[in-house]
A = this chain, B = another copy of it.
Amino acid sequence: MGTNQLYKGSLSTIILKLLGEKGRMYGYQITQEVKAISSGEYVITEGALYPMLHKLEAQGLLTVEIEMTGNRMRKYYSITNNGKKEVVDRMTEMESFIRNMQSLLNPKIDLA
Contact = CB atoms under 8 A, between A and B. Distances in A.
Interface of A: 4-10, 12-14, 17-18, 21-22, 33-34, 36-39, 41-42, 91, 93-94, 96-98, 100-105, 107, 111-112
* Overall SS of chain A's interface: helix
A98 B7 CA distance: 10
A6 B104 contact: no
B14 A5 contact: no
- Pairs A-B, 5 closest by C-beta atoms: A5-B9, A8-B9, A6-B97, A38-B100, A8-B8
B104 A38 contact: yes
Contacts of A104: 14, 17-18, 34, 37-38, 42
